[in-house]
Amino acid sequence: RATGPRRPRRGSVFFGGLSPLLYDSEGLPRYGEGARPRPAGVRANAQFDAAALLLEMQDWPRAIGVLEGFRRDYPDNPLTATIPRRLAGAYEASGQKVAAAVEYERIADAPAEPAEARRQALEQAADLYEQGGDAARAARTLETFVTRYPEPVVAAIEARQRLADFA
């Protein structure tokens, strides 16, 4: 008899009578061919956890794909509200300034976000549009910023100055 660690058999209590979840070469859950269907809640949580792991690994392209898929597949899941913040960071880290700006605008439009977070997100979106070379969207975002946030006055004046510079 072998003395090494015991591996549970397929269908054992360890796996709850189901075949084990399939993993890719990096140990991440594999979705698609050969993977057995799972209940939607389990699948959503696994996909979200995979995205979190990919973000931690700084694998931006794969993280972005998983996060976009999660938002598409589970629009009513409470975790979906956290996707714009995660995507904004991943896009920004991968150099996709305009895509990051779009996500920051989503944050700015989310009523569940604190007012200061929405204000900062809108300002960040304008910065990223400008850095990404989309002056028209940067100007539009700054106009929205000035309209929504006339205070603090210093930030509003700076936004107005930036708008004047675009003219």
63-118 residue pLDDT tens: 999 999 999 999 999 999 999 999 999 999 999 999 999 999 999 999 999 999 99
Burial class (CB in 10 A: 0-12, 13-18, 19+), 79: middle
Q: How confident is the model at residue 166 (pLDDT cuts 50, 70, 90)?
A: confident
Q: Could you tell me where the DSSP H helices lie in 109-152? A: 115-131, 135-148
Average pLDDT over residues 137-157: 94
pTM recorded for the entire structure? 0.75
Output the pLDDT for position 60. Answer: 97
Output the pLDDT for position 41. Answer: 80
- Name the DSSP letter for residue 29: B
Q: Bridge-partner residues for 23, per DSSP?
A: 29
As a whole number of angstroms, the distance between CA 83 and CA 126 comes to: 20
Contacts of 81 (CB under 8 A, 6+ apart): 110, 112
